[in-house]
Structure 1
Amino acid sequence: MTVALEGRQTYNELWAEAQVELSRLLIEDLPAEPPRPEKDRVVFFQRLTMLYVRYIQIFRQLERVYDQLVHPQKRQVIRVILDGVIGRVLELKNEMVEKEFSEYHYMDDVLHDLKLRPADLEIPIPRYFLTECNKELQEQKPVMIKDMSQDEAIKIIQVVERARQGRLRAKLNKESRNMNRMFSTKDTETLSADVAAVCIQKVWKGYIARKKTKIARDEEMIFLGMIMDPKYRVPCPAEITAQANEVHTRTKQTEYEEDYQKSMEAITRQLRDVEGHDISKTMKDQIRQWFIECRDATGSFPDYPDEEDGGSALIFAEKNPQQLVEEIAAKEEEDTNNKPKGKEEKKEKGKKDKGKKEDETVRTQRHEVELIKEEKRKVIEADIRAQVMMGESKKPQIYRLIKLQGGDKVQMLKKLCTFFTYSRTLESLCQELVEQGLLKKANDVRLQDYLGDYSYLGTTLRQNDIEPMPSLSDVRQVLTLYAILPLGSQVVHEKAPLIKAILLTGPGGVGKKMLVHAICRETRANLFDLSPLNTAGKYPGKSGLAMMLHIVFKVARLLQPSVIWIGDAEKMFYKKVPKEEKDLDPKRLKKDLPKCLKLIKGEDRVLIIGTTSDPLSAEIKSLCKMYSKIILIPRPDYGSRYILWMQLIQKQGGEITESLDISSLAKISDGYTPGHMVQVIQAVVTKRRILQQANRPLTAAEFVAPLAKFDPVFQEEEEALKNWYAKTPLGKKRTKAATGKEEEAPVKGKDAKKKGKK
């Protein structure tokens, strides 16, 4: 209990600190007097960068607090603030892109001024994306389970088990043949007992000497602080306790949230039964009084306001101040003369006074009943207001229905919907897309698995007029801002600048497909595959193509968040289709898919992501028109390669020892992609090699030969990609800004004539 109270107090203090910092930041970000326009682009961008970094720190604090607080109503308040801060971070990111003409920004100087680490710039993925959206998405997603008899299930299990045993038997036979071949080539000459004993002694003494030397060296390195003591590598009791507390906290969150929802329903019913009649009566009297006053002033009764204009709520908004004062005074007199209400208020005051006397550390973290009542009274008043003048409120609805029945476009749309999917269920549409291979399950990868180091020389290079290549850490951060945060929350999506399509381009093996699957995994988004090679031969003809796109986008909107992936995106906009691909018709989506972008509205959490490793073979204008954001992913730099080798070897089961020179591996693998490294590590660090590590540690030389079998990404290929990116709209702006030839926006109309006269 004491640990829980201390943790609760810690997060309350962290929330208070975030609130104070946010108040200061809002004063600077939204001053009372508008600041003077800043002509110096560098100074203005520095100001934007400072705001961006400070908002990220508040974002990280609030996300941590929201994840660990238990009180349901406190969490609601924090959620609103958190979504607002995320929206502001995305707005600042958009402004930084517009001012610097680059998707990547380097903030070494800001980190130095604020005394922060590069890790503090990492954009956190809110954990509520997964914890709170699971239930909602499971309810939305139809369960597609094919009925299977017991005999069919047993047959499938038998086939899989026999295949597994066959593979295992073949592997054992291969190993036994190798062992027999090895022993058959050795000299079978018999040795004397003395010679054999001396041989065994040499091996044993050498092993003991090496072991003692290693222990002494490790002790010395631990004493010097160069390596960590093995006993500290395992989680300490405090860490285990903290992890257990987090699990317990999330359990309590679920329990209290369910209790809060049940209490809201009960209180809503209670308020409707107790106060609903009085609210309805008071509202009717006020509306009648308004009609009489308007008749006395104008001589005729006014028209009832349309529902689109606000309905009866507009009546109170149109009153002058004197009428509002008189109405408030009359209402106060009625409240004082109403005895039941007075008793309820006394009871509520008594409850509040008792609550104040309770110690905050002992107070329960369950919901506050009075806050629920205040919130639900407003909802009940709105419902009753709609019911008071039901006859009048029906007129605009009937008018709109009659209006919608006219018009050729509406009739045509209804006919098309009826022809395509009007009478079909969502489950049948999903089943069809799965059978056609257009709706797929995303791989179980996380964005944190996309390893990469921070770029430490970006600011220095730009100060010397050298455009740096982004690091893999920068790519991970940009995709978190552009894809994961808007897809993960409906509120954030509506606050953030709308991005409908993103293109990931870079050499093969840099992890473009992995990033697509990671985005789906982090946001629980559905993955639709509209790659040219995947759609070849499916839904033939123009009508079939229209049917396919209609079904995909309809299901994507109904089961949002959704990601529509287009692999090999350059094939759709080929300058010239290769002979071997003409039968596949890769350009069949070229005209219709860009039109489907208009179907994605601001409230739809649907994102199109294209991936390409050969953008030079496509028409750049059509490609840039389709994708509003183009992210260039480079080959990894030295820091990223060092992290990749170390983390991937350990993940495969290898041990990092002094015999394995990771630095040398990172140097000689310049130009190779993470995909190459994964394949090399899988070829070297096998199950058998893992068992041999105790006697024969891994060395860097073992990875050199398998690495040499792959062709690296040469400097010419990377320069070609950079030159291509410079021809994109954002790349052109960046080039003009760097050369000082940035053009001003053209002036039209009267202003142009005035400028010409001057």
Structure 2
Amino acid sequence: MRGPGWDAASAQTLLRIRGPGLMEDITDEIHEWFVIWYNTLGHYDVFPAADLGGSVLIATGQTSTPQEYLMEKLEKEKQAKAKRQMMPPKPEPVKLEAPGWKMPQTEALSCLEEANNDFIRNWSLRDESDNPEQEEYLDLITEKLCHELQLEMREIVDELMRAELELLNKALLKDRARDKGKFEIPEMDKDMKKDTGKIRIQKKKKDILEDVAVEDLFNELLQAKIIRNYRVVFLRDWLGDLSYQNYEARRELRDYKQRLGEIKQLVLEYCVLPLISKETHRIAPLVRSVCIYGLPEAGKTLLANAICSEVGALLFDVSAPVLVGKYVGKEKQKRLIDMISKVARVYAPSIIFLDAGEKPWLKEVSPEEQYIQSRRFAKSFVKLVKGIKPGDQILFLSLSEEPQKAKVAFIKLHDKFIRVPTTDYNTLYMYYKNLLMKYHGVDRDIDVSCLAKMSVGIPLDFIRQAVEKVLSLRRRITLKFNPLKPIEIMNEILMYQYPTPEMVKALDKFEKRISLAKAKKKIRD
């Protein structure tokens, strides 16, 4: 239903706000397609025809890949060679049709399926009892307008990209003019030139899971404990103060280290907001994979659970201990990845979770962990991440305590890295204040500042356990005539074993390694 406020003016407003960003994203997408073809084959592919969808075919992966183009070219050369040698063609097997009358497919079936899919996607989970006046749903209207806007922007960008491709091909021919071998740029086939609506389309690969119901795949992953529950927490449960020095550093474009309060903003930006809906995932910058790393007990698992809880995601746990002894062999491994990919798209938003994320890419595996065979899924994970497209609402999320032990492929796999810092004074002061004031008998003027200074670098969860241990039921009974002293909590806090300086230096070194890799990538781009 279209509301009175959603007229041409609303569409123009949407065009003004989102149009430039959409054009930039579509242009980057097509440029990436150009680069892949040039880096692999040294030339560019034919741009898809407008009446077949144009760059929509590129975005949805329906055009040929460079490898498929080479296979097709070799096949044509073999057929031409066979014709020259006058080899008799192989007789085609005669297909016997089963006797009897078959009911033809009705033309209304596609309309019914489309209406059913629209109902499942947009209306099956809506509670109409809260909307007795049948007011319009603005999210549906916005999504439809955004989709129409994207198609309009794509047509404009396609025309510009066709002109750019023509100039690139001319420059390429000029560069290769002195080559000994004859250089040719791919063109449409002769029979395709007569009908401009025909281009070389990627042949759809046979899906081995096509005949298997998604519910059966879901149950199989559930029984294998790959799909599992998670503790429901939210980002509002993450306690951390912002750094005012970092605010000035950002304004002056200086390097700075994140604080716990800023980690929440990064997680929200990279992991939560893109997964809210298909439209936001399609429009937002594509983040396929994120690695959250830091010292032990820093709060990485809490952040992972909060991401899942915020968007109501389905969690696929592909950690090495979960997959021990399961799906052994290349065919079974491929089947598992295909199953996860299919189920994750149907039940989006989905999080593909990898704990101890560095293990599949370890440089050396210790003898104690060789039985886990953590490296056998490394290539499969790369393929899984590369298959994530805009609008899929899928995120590959890994946690790591020792990312410095992984190979370069581990860094290349992840689009973003978030380091969870140690606790700071401001955060600890707020945490102690909130934690101790929950107990009725604790003095309101207890020296929280002293506790915060003594606890810098100690995880919040360890502090919570220490306070709960000190303020046992027996001790709470005596608070009225024997007030709590900070030294009691300090004695328990000092039992914490700090990470070694080598561990901290290794993470600092890895952080610099990431910055260097990002700088090299920018130079290449």
Task: Return the TM-score normalized by structure 2.
Answer: 0.61
2:398 corresponds to which letter in structure 1?
Answer: G
Check if 1:575 corresponds to 2:363: yes
Q: 2: CA distance between counterparts of 1:614 and 1:654?
A: 42
Q: 1: CA distance between counterparts of 2:424 and 2:474?
A: 32
In the TM superposition, what is the alpha-carbon distance from 1:252 to its structure 2 partner?
A: 11
* Per-residue Cα deviation, 1:174-228 (whole angstroms, up to 9, x for no partner): xxxxxxxxxxxxxxxxxxxxxxxxxxxxxxxxxxxxxxxxxxxxxxxxxxxxxxx
The secondary structure found in structure 1 opposite 2:217 is: helix
Q: Give 2:277's aligned residue.
A: 489
Q: 2: CA distance between counterparts of 1:704 and 1:695?
A: 21
1:484 corresponds to which letter in structure 2?
Answer: V
Q: Give 2:467's aligned residue.
A: 681
Q: 1: CA distance between counterparts of 2:478 and 2:6?
A: 52
Check if 1:624 corresponds to 2:411: yes
Q: 1: CA distance between counterparts of 2:449 and 2:490?
A: 13
Q: Give 1:590's aligned residue.
A: 378
Q: 1: CA distance between counterparts of 2:423 and 2:15?
A: 33
The secondary structure found in structure 2 opposite 1:439 is: coil
1:488 corresponds to which letter in structure 2?
Answer: I
Map residues 220-619 of structure 1 onto 2, 5 A cutoff.
254-256=130-132, 258=134, 260=136, 410=204, 413-414=205-206, 417=207, 419=208, 421-459=209-247, 467-619=255-407
* 1:635 and 1:713 in contact (8 A); partners too: no
5+ long unaligned stretches in structure 1: 1-70, 93-134, 141-250, 265-308, 311-395, 735-741, 748-758
1:662 corresponds to which letter in structure 2?
Answer: V
1:663 corresponds to which letter in structure 2?
Answer: S
In the TM superposition, what is the alpha-carbon distance from 1:701 to its structure 2 partner?
A: 2.1
Q: 1:667 aligns with which of 453, 465, 484?
A: 453
Cα distance 1:443–1:258, how it changes in 2: closer, same or farther (>3 A)?
farther
* 2:227 and 2:314 in contact (8 A); partners too: yes
Q: 1: CA distance between counterparts of 2:484 and 2:517?
A: 48
Check if 1:642 corresponds to 2:518: no
State the Cα RMSD in Å: 4.2
* 2:279 and 2:391 in contact (8 A); partners too: no
Q: 1: CA distance between counterparts of 2:237 and 2:10?
A: 29
Q: 2: CA distance between counterparts of 1:551 and 1:80?
A: 42
Q: 2: CA distance between counterparts of 1:693 and 1:79?
A: 65
In the TM superposition, what is the alpha-carbon distance from 1:538 to its structure 2 partner?
A: 1.6
1:676 corresponds to which letter in structure 2?
Answer: F
Q: Give 1:708's aligned residue.
A: 494
In the TM superposition, what is the alpha-carbon distance from 1:581 to its structure 2 partner?
A: 0.3
* 1:528 and 1:565 in contact (8 A); partners too: yes
Cα distance 1:434–1:732, how it changes in 2: closer, same or farther (>3 A)?
closer
The secondary structure found in structure 2 opposite 1:664 is: helix
Q: Give 2:74's aligned residue.
A: none
In the TM superposition, what is the alpha-carbon distance from 1:455 to its structure 2 partner?
A: 0.4
* Per-residue Cα deviation, 1:37-61 (whole angstroms, up to 9, x for no partner): xxxxxxxxxxxxxxxxxxxxxxxxx
Q: 2: CA distance between counterparts of 1:744 and 1:566?
A: 27
The secondary structure found in structure 1 opposite 2:374 is: coil
The secondary structure found in structure 1 opposite 2:321 is: helix
Q: 2: CA distance between counterparts of 1:529 and 1:618?
A: 20
In the TM superposition, what is the alpha-carbon distance from 1:598 to its structure 2 partner?
A: 2.5
Cα distance 1:746–1:602, how it changes in 2: closer, same or farther (>3 A)?
closer
Cα distance 1:467–1:598, how it changes in 2: closer, same or farther (>3 A)?
closer
Q: 1: CA distance between counterparts of 2:282 and 2:477?
A: 53
Moved more, 479-488 or 534-543: 534-543
The secondary structure found in structure 2 opposite 1:533 is: coil
Larger Rg: 1
The secondary structure found in structure 2 opposite 1:608 is: strand
In the TM superposition, what is the alpha-carbon distance from 1:541 to its structure 2 partner?
A: 1.7
Q: 1: CA distance between counterparts of 2:322 and 2:19?
A: 36
* Per-residue Cα deviation, 1:21-48 (whole angstroms, up to 9, x for no partner): xxxxxxxxxxxxxxxxxxxxxxxxxxxx
Cα distance 1:661–1:605, how it changes in 2: closer, same or farther (>3 A)?
same
* Per-residue Cα deviation, 1:77-102 (whole angstroms, up to 9, x for no partner): 9999899979999999xxxxxxxxxx
The secondary structure found in structure 2 opposite 1:535 is: coil
* Per-residue Cα deviation, 1:62-114 (whole angstroms, up to 9, x for no partner): xxxxxxxxx9766999999899979999999xxxxxxxxxxxxxxxxxxxxxx
**What is the aligned length?**
372
The secondary structure found in structure 1 opposite 2:513 is: coil
Q: 2: CA distance between counterparts of 1:687 and 1:258?
A: 55
In the TM superposition, what is the alpha-carbon distance from 1:601 to its structure 2 partner?
A: 1.1
Cα distance 1:682–1:586, how it changes in 2: closer, same or farther (>3 A)?
farther
In the TM superposition, what is the alpha-carbon distance from 1:677 to its structure 2 partner?
A: 1.9
Check if 1:699 corresponds to 2:496: no
In the TM superposition, what is the alpha-carbon distance from 1:478 to its structure 2 partner?
A: 0.8
Q: 2: CA distance between counterparts of 1:566 and 1:259?
A: 43
* 1:506 and 1:721 in contact (8 A); partners too: yes
Higher helix share: 1
Percent identity reads 27
Q: 1: CA distance between counterparts of 2:23 and 2:293?
A: 24
* Per-residue Cα deviation, 1:250-299 (whole angstroms, up to 9, x for no partner): x99932574557xx9xxxxxxxxxxxxxxxxxxxxxxxxxxxxxxxxxxx
Task: Return the TM-score normalized by structure 1.
Answer: 0.44
5+ long unaligned stretches in structure 2: 25-119, 141-150, 153-194
* 2:348 and 2:393 in contact (8 A); partners too: yes
In the TM superposition, what is the alpha-carbon distance from 1:625 to its structure 2 partner?
A: 0.9
In the TM superposition, what is the alpha-carbon distance from 1:646 to its structure 2 partner?
A: 2.7
